[in-house]
Amino acid sequence: MNAVLAVKQYVAKMIEDSGPGMKVLLMDRETTGVVSMVYTQSEILQKEVYLFERIDSFNREPMKHLKAICFLRPTKENVEYLIQELRRPKYSIYFIYFSNVISKSDIKSLAEADEQEVVAEVQEFYGDYIAVNPHVFSLNLLGCCQGRNWDPAQLARTTQGLTALLLSLKKCPMIRYQLSSEPAKRLAECVKQVITKEYELFDFRRTEVPPLLLILDRSDDAITPLLNQWTYQAMVHELLGINNNRIDLSRVPGISKDLREVVLSAENDEFYANNMYLNFAEIGSNIKNLMEDFQKRKPKEQQKLESIADMKAFVENYPQFKKMSGTVSKHVTVVGELSRLVAERNLLEVSEVEQELACQNDHSSALQNVRRLLQNPKVTELDAARLVMLYALHYERHSSNSLPGLLTDLRNRGVSDKYRKLVSAVVEYGGKRVRGSDLFSPKDAVAITKQFLKGLKGVENVYTQHQPLLQETLDQLIKGKLKDSQFPYLGPNTLRDRPQDIIVFIIGGATYEEALAVYNLNRTNPGVRIVLGGTTIHNTKSFLEEVTAAGFRGRSTESSQAPPRPSSRR
Amino acid sequence: MRSHLSDFKKHRAARIDHYVVEVNKLIIRLEKLTSFDRANTESAKIRAIEKSVVPWVNDQDVPFCPDCGSKFSIRNRRHHCRLCGSIMCKKCMELVSLPLASKLTSASKEALSSHTSPSSSPNSVHGSRRGSISSISSVSSVLDEKDDDRIRCCQHCKDTLLKREQQIDEREYTPEIVKLYEKLRLCMEKVDQKAPEYIKMAESLNAGETTYNLEHANDLRVEIQRVYEFIDALSKKILNLGLHEEPQPHPKTLQLQRMIRYSATLFVQEKLLGLMSLPTKDQYEELKKRRLHMAALEAHRRQEEKQKDSTSRSVAAVNGDASNLKKGTVRKSEGWLPTSSVSRQCEIADPLLQQIDNITSFIKQAKAANRLDEVRMLQENLRQLQDEYDQQQTLKAIELSKKQAEEEEMQREELQVLCEKEWEREHHKFMSQHSRTHSLDFREVKQHQHEVTKENQNLIAHGLDLDITQMKGNPSSETTAVQQLPAKDNFIFPVKPQNVPQHDKDQNRAACLNPFEDETDTPLSEEDPANPFAKDISPLISFSNAIVQSDKKEYNPFENEEDEQTNGASVSTSNPFEEDENPCQKSGGNSGNPFEEGSSTNPFEVEDGNEISEEEAIEEELLLQQIDNIKAYIFDAKHSGRMDEVEVLTENLKELKYTLAKQKEKSNC
C-alpha cells in the first residue's frame, strides 16, 4: 500500500528490461509528471537513461544508437503518435509500456505500423496516477464535475486512474460510496464495471479481509479546503502552491535565480520527509537546528581547521554536505517566505477566526470577529472572502444570519465581484442542502461529550483545532461503525470484519490537511493501511476554481438571500 | 502488469511477411536487371530482358498517370517501372543507379547468409547517410543523360528500396559515440568490480592485518585509478564529439553527450570518494606490530570497562547511539576511510566503549529473549565497533611513536608539495585554455588572462603551508616567494603541528588517490571568511563572480569547495583548480605526480600536459625522469595490448621531448 513505491517499481522495471545501452525515455504530458514525482534526474541517469522526450515533440532527431522506452497513457492521440513513430523509427528499438488497459484494436494498428520490427516489448504498467506521498495520490484533474454530474471525459479519466491505482497496489476491493452524492455512485459503478470486465487483471491473491474502496464527494466537506494550514506540506501548498512537488518561488521578493523553482520531495529530501507533517512552529526550530548542524559541518572555522581529521571527515561527507547545503538554502527560503506571508497577511489572526468558525458554535462571537477582521487592511481579499464563506457555510440556517451584512462589508472593502459571487457559489456547492453528513453540530451523545470535554480542557493549539470530516468518517470506518445507510456498499456483499486496507477517494479533490489526518490514522492504527486519493489536491485557490468550474457561479451579492438553487448548465 | 507482446507479434508477423516478400521480390528483380553488362548491350536487347523480368502493364489499360493524374499523349509518354511493371509519366519516374542496385543486391546476399529478418540486430545503429552512394545518384538531373546505366522504376518501388538501403547503412555503421560509450561502460563495470575488492584490502591493511599483500593492493589501486582516468577522458571525448564539425550536431545529440558526461562525472565523484589510501611500507610494518600489541592490551581493557560501565548504561546508550548514528551517515556503501572515523571517535572514546558494552548487554538480553536475528545483527555491530576501537587505539599508538620521525616527514612533505605544485601549474595552464570546451556546465571562465598573477598567489598559497626553515635546502625557485611572506608563516604556525603528524599517519600523500588532497591542505592557510554561510549555499559561484547564488542543481560538488577556497581565502585568492570542474583531472594532477615516484601511472594526465607552455620552466631533470616514466608506461601498455593508451602516451612522449628540447635551448641562450 505504497503508491510512490508502486510507481517507482514500474519505472525501474521498464528501464531494467531494456538492458544495457544508452536509452531515451519517451513520455507524454501526464506520464512525465508521473515519473518525475518518483525519480530525480540523476537517479535515472545512473540507469543509462540520458534523454527525456515527449512523444508529441517534433524536434526529435533520429538517434539509432538509442533504445527508446515509451511510457504513455493509452489515449487515441498517443497511439496515433506512436504509429507515426514506428513507421519511421527514430531509435533502434522500442520498449512500449502503456499506463493503463489498452484495447486489442490499438495493439493491432501498432503492430501493423511496425514494419521494421523495432518493437521489442508491449506491456501495461499501471502507473496512471500521480503518487504524491506513499499514502496519497492525485490525478491532477481540476473541474471534474458540471453541477452535480460528472464531466464524462473526467469520469473516464478518474475511473482509469482509480483502477490503475488498484491494479498497481494489487487490490480488488469492495466498494462503498457516499449516498448523498450522485457522482460518487457513478464512479463506484464505473470502477466496478472495469473490475468485472478485466477480471483477469484483478485476480489477486485473496486476503482474509478484502480491501475497501470508499468514494466520497468534496461537497460534503467544503470547510477543509477553505482553511489556512499550519503544517509544512499543507501550508506550502496553501500559500505557495505545490505542483507535482514543484514550488514556484519566482514571486518571492529578492529570490536568487537558482531558487525560482524548488522541488520538495520526501523521497530525496530528508529534512522535508521528517518535517512535512509538523506544524510551523516546530519547523522553525528544526530549520534552526538544520542550520546549526550545517554550520557545524562547515569546515572553515578556525578551530575546525586545526584538526585535519575534521577536514577529512568533511571531504568524505562531501556529497552529504553538498546535498545539505542545497537543502538548507531551499528550506530556509521556503520557510522564510512562509513567515513573511504569515506576517504580511496577518494570517495568525485570520486563522484563529477561521478555526473558530469551523469548530465552535458561538454565532455572535464569530460574527464579531469576522467583522473585526474585515476592517483590518492587512487581511487580503482572498482571506476576507474565505472568512465570509466559512461563516456562510456554518451559519447558513442560523436564525440571526447576517450574511448580507457581511457581503456588504466585503463590497465596501473593495473585494472584487468574483469573490463575492463565490461566497454564494460555495454555499451552493457545499451547503447544508447538499451535505449528507453533519459538518458542524455533533450528531450523537459520544461526540457531544467529546466536544464538551474538549471545551473544558481548552484546545491545545488554537490554529489546528479543526479536524477534517474525513478523519471522523475514517475513524468510524475503521471501527466498523460507518453507517450503511449513509455509505452503502455497491453490490450485495458487505464487509463483516473491520477493514484493514482502505483506499479512500474524494471526488472534487483532497487536501493536504486530509493527507495529514490519514497519515496520523495510519500511524495510530496498526494493521490499518489507508491510501487517500483525489481528483486533485486542493488549496483554497484551486478549490474555488473547482467550484467555479463546476458551474456554481453564484448570484450577484444583492440577491443572495434567495435560497440556493443548483445551477444546471448542462 | 500485462503483456501484449505475443498479440503484437502475431499481428506484426502477418504484416511483415507481406512486406519482406515485397522487398525481396524487388531485390531479386533488381539483380536480374543488373546481372548483365548494360553498357555494351543494345537497347532493344535490354528492353527485351527487362520485359522478361516483370510483365509490363498494357499501355491501353492506363490512360492517366496513376501518381499525378496527367493524361498520357504523344508528348506525355508512358514509362514502365522495370521493377513492378506499372506505368507512370516521365515526371513521376524515378531512377535507380547501378551502384545503388549492386549495393542492395550484394547486401541481401550477405543477409541471406547471416540474417533472416531485416531487424534481427537490434543494436544496429544509425549512421549519417551523408556520404552514401544513393544520395549522389538520386540527384535526378538526368534528363539529358543516358538512361541505360540506370533502371527506371516507380516512386513506390524506389521508396521501398531506399528504406532498405537505409537499413543496410544503419546496420553497418557504428557511430563514434557508441564505440566510446561502450568503452566507458566497460570501465565503469571494471570499477564496480574492483573497487569493493580494493576497499576490503585497504581496510584490512590500514588495520594492520596481514590478510593481504601491500604491494598487491598498491597495484590494484593504481589499476583502479587508471580506470578512473579512462572514464574521465572517455566521457570528455564523448562530450566534445562533433563540436568542431560543420554543421554542428543536432541539439539533442549535444544534450545526449552532455548527459553522458554528467553521469560519468557523478559516477566518478561517488566512487572515487570511497577509495581510501594505503599505508606506506614502513607504516604498514608499524601498524602490524601495533595491532598485535594493542589486541592484547585491548582485550584486557575492555573487560575492565565492561564491569565499570554497567550501571550508567541508560545515559550512555543515548550518547553512544547518537554518535554511532552520526558515523553511519558518514559511511558510504563503497567504503569509508577508517582514519577519519577513527579520528572522530578519538573525541568520543568513552562513548565508543560504552556503546560496545551496551551492545554486549543487548546481545545477552536478546539471546535470553531468543531473538536470533537481533543477536546476529548486534554481534555484527559489536564486531564493527570493536574493530574501530582497535584501529583507533592503533593509530593513537602510532602517533606517539612517530613523533621522532616528524622532522623528516615534514621535509619530505614539503618537497612533495612543491613538486606537485610544479605539476599542477602545467596542468592548470592546460585547463585554463581548455576549460571552455571541457567543462561540464560551460560557465564563463576568465582566469586565463590573470594567469601569471595567480600563479604567484598560488605559490604563496602553497608556501604558507610550509615551514620556512624547511625550505632552505630546497632547490626550486619558489623559496623566494615564500620568504617574502614571513608574517603569513607565523600565522600558519599554530596549525602546523597538528597537521604533520596526521600526515604521517595518513600515509604517503602523493600516492593518495584522494582528489581533495590539495583542498585539505589549502584551506589550512585560509582565513576565516566573514560570512561563510552565504558562500556555502552558493557552490555555483564562478570564480570572478561575486554574486552569491544558491545551489539547487547538482553539477559538481567540487566546485563548491573551490569556491569556498577562492572566496574564503584572503591570502590565497587564486586557486589553480578553479576552472577545473573535474575530479579526475585533479586527482590526475596530484596522483600523477611523476617527480616524486615512478609508480603512479596516469596516461591522460600527460595527455593534458601536451599543452605545456614554454614559459613554464620545468626542470630538466624532472623532464627526463618523466620521459623515462612514460617510456615505461608505453612498454607496459604495449605489453598488455592497450593500443589506444599507447597512442596517447606516445603523443605525450613527443610533447615532453619537445619541451625538453626547448628547455635546453633556453638554458643555452
Q: What is the pLDDT of residues A202-248, one digit of tens each?
A: 988 888 889 999 999 999 999 999 999 999 999 999 999 999 899 99
Most confident range, picked from B154-158, B446-450, B460-464, B583-587: B154-158
Residue ranges of chain A whose pLDDT lies below 70: 297-323, 441-460, 553-570
Query: In which element (H, E) is residue A101 found?
Result: none
Of the candidates B190, B141, B130, the one whose C-alpha atom is nearest the C-alpha of residue B166 is B130
Q: What are the grid coordinates assigned to A316, written together?
A: 568524505
Is A285 in contact with A237 (CB distance < 8 Å)?
A: no
Å between A458 CA and nearest CA of chain B? 35
Q: Whole-angstrom Cα distance, residue A184 to residue A186?
A: 5
- Tracing cell 548483365 back to the chain, one arrives at B36
In 3D space, the residue among B648, B654, B645, B586 whose CA is nearest the CA of residue B223 turns out to be: B645
Contact B259 A117 (CB under 8 A): no
* ipTM here: 0.80
Which residues of chain A make contact with B564, given a CB cutoff of 8 A?
Answer: 299-300
pLDDT tens per residue across span B69-120: 888 888 888 888 888 888 888 888 888 888 888 888 877 666 555 544 444 4
Q: What is the pLDDT of residue B544?
A: 35
**pTM of this structure:** 0.64
Give the whole-angstrom CA distance, residue B551 versus residue B553.
6
Length of chain B: 669
| B117, B255, B498: residue with CB nearest A117 | B117
Cβ A115–B10 below 8 Å, yes or no?
no
The answer, yes or no, to whether residue B585 has pLDDT greater than 80, is no
A320 Cβ under 8 Å from any chain B Cβ: yes
Task: Please state, in angstroms and rounded to a whole number, the distance separating the CA atoms of residues B69 and A472.
Answer: 75
Interchain pair B3, A121: CB under 8 A: yes
Give the burial class of B218: count Cβ atoms within 10 A of its Cβ; 0-12 exposed, 13-18 middle, 19 or more buried: buried
Higher per-residue confidence, B22 vs A437: B22
| Per-residue model confidence (pLDDT) at position B215 | 82
Q: Kind of pairing, strands A529-534 and A501-507?
A: parallel
Coil, strand or helix at B87: strand
C-alpha B591/C-alpha B70 separation (Å) is 77
Share of chain B above pLDDT 90, in %: 0
Structural domains in chain A, sorted by start: 3-126 (3.40.50.2060), 132-221+468-550 (3.40.50.1910), 232-345 (3.90.830.10), 359-455 (no CATH)
Q: Does CATH place domain B176-279 in 1.10.287?
A: no
Q: How far is B263 from chain A (nearest CA, A)?
A: 6
Q: Give percent of chain B above pLDDT 70.
A: 46
Measure CB to CB from residue B337 to each of A46, A316, A330 and give the nearest one. Answer: A316
Predicted pLDDT at B553: 38
* Nearest to B107, CA basis, from B50, B214, B31: B31
Distance CA A66, CA A49 (A): 9
**Would you call A142 helix, strand, or coil by DSSP?**
coil
Domain ranges of chain B: 4-56+94-111+148-172, 176-279, 351-422, 626-662
Most B CBs within 10 Å, among A249, A271, A305, A334, to test the B interface: A305
Q: Which residues contact B282 (CB under 8 A, 6 or more apart)?
A: none
Chain centroid to CA B221? 16
Bridge partners, residue A530, by sequence: A502
Q: Average pLDDT, stretch B377-383? A: 74
Residues 6+ apart with CB under 8 A from A177: A184, A185, A187, A188, A214, A215, A216, A487, A488, A490
What mean pLDDT is reported for chain B? Answer: 62
Q: What is the mean pLDDT of residues B33-41?
A: 75
Question: Residue B344's closest chain A neighbor by CA?
Answer: A309
Residues with Cβ within 8 Å of residue A95, at least 6 apart in sequence: A14, A17, A18, A67, A68, A69, A70, A119, A120, A121
* Contact assessment for residue A191 and residue A175, using Cβ atoms and an 8 Å cutoff: yes
Angle at A368 between CA A362 and CA A370, to 5 degrees: 100
Ranking A46-55, B51-60, B276-285, B566-575 by mean pLDDT, the lowest is: B566-575
Is residue B230 classed as helix, strand or coil in its secondary structure?
Answer: helix
Return the pLDDT at A7. 94
Residue range B466-478: mean pLDDT, rounded:
41
Residues from chain A contacting residue B255 (CB–CB below 8 Å):
51
Give the best residue of A90, A198, A298, A311 to mutate against chain B (max B CB count within 10 A): A311
Pairing of strands A212-217, A174-177: parallel
What fold, for B351-422?
A: DNA Excision Repair, Uvrb; Chain A (4.10.860)
Please state, in angstroms and rounded to a whole number, the distance separating the CA atoms of residues B211 and B229.
Answer: 29
What is the secondary structure of B442-468 as a DSSP string?
Answer: ------GGGHHHHHHHHHHHHHHTS-G
Asked if the model's pLDDT at residue B345 lies above 60, the reply is: no
Count of Cβ atoms closer than 10 Å to residue B122 Cβ:
14
Task: Name the more confident of A462 and B491.
Answer: A462
Whether A300 and B12 lie within 8 Å, measured CB to CB: no
Share of chain A above pLDDT 90, in %: 50
What is the pLDDT at residue B614?
A: 39
Residue of B nearest to A46 (CA): B263
CA atoms within 13 A on the CB side of A184: 26
Report residue B47 as a C-alpha cell: 528492353
The alpha carbon of residue B113 is apart from the nearest alpha carbon of chain A, in Å, by: 20
- Distance between A108 CA and the closest CA of chain B, angstroms: 6
Give the other-Cβ count within 10 Å of A204's Cβ: 13
- Any chain B CB within 8 A of the CB of A59? yes
Q: How many whole angstroms separate alpha carbon B246 and alpha carbon B190?
A: 36
Q: Which of B2, B263, B266 sits opposite A123 (nearest CB)?
A: B2
pLDDT at position B624 over 80: no
Selection from B463, B449, B442, B591 nearest residue B517 by Cα: B591
Which distant-in-sequence residues (6+ apart) come within 8 Å of B297 by Cβ? B393
**Amino acid residing at B277:** S
Q: Which residues, at least 6 apart from B35, have a Cβ–Cβ distance to it below 8 Å?
A: none
A325 close contact with B: CB closer than 8 A: yes
Residue environment code for B535-545, b if the CB has 16+ CB neighbours within 10 A, otherwise e? bbbbbbbbbee
- Provide, as residue numbers in chain A, all residues whose Cβ is less than 8 Å from the Cβ of B7: 104, 107-108, 111, 122
CB atoms within 10 A of CB B601: 23
Lowest-confidence range among A127-136, B446-455, B589-598? B589-598
A52 at interface of B, judged by CB pairs closer than 8 A: no
Three cell numbers at A233? 506540506
Residue B463: pLDDT over 60: no
Q: Considering only CB atoms, which chain A residues are within 8 Å of B174? A: 65
Which residues from B are below 8 Å from A303, CB to CB?
Answer: none
The stretches of B484-639 forming alpha helices (DSSP H) are 486-492, 496-505, 517-521, 532-536, 557-568, 583-591, 603-609, 620-639
CA A520 to chain centre: 16
The alpha carbon torsion through B585, B589, B590, B595 (nearest 10 deg) reads: 150
pLDDT of residue B17: 82
pLDDT category, B601, cuts 50, 70, 90? very low
Max mean pLDDT among A259-273, A551-565, B421-435, B616-630 falls in A259-273
- How large is the greatest C-alpha to C-alpha distance in chain A, in angstroms? 78
- Which one-letter amino acid corresponds to residue A554? G
Q: Is A112 on the interface with B (CB under 8 A)?
A: yes
Cα A170 from chain centroid? 21
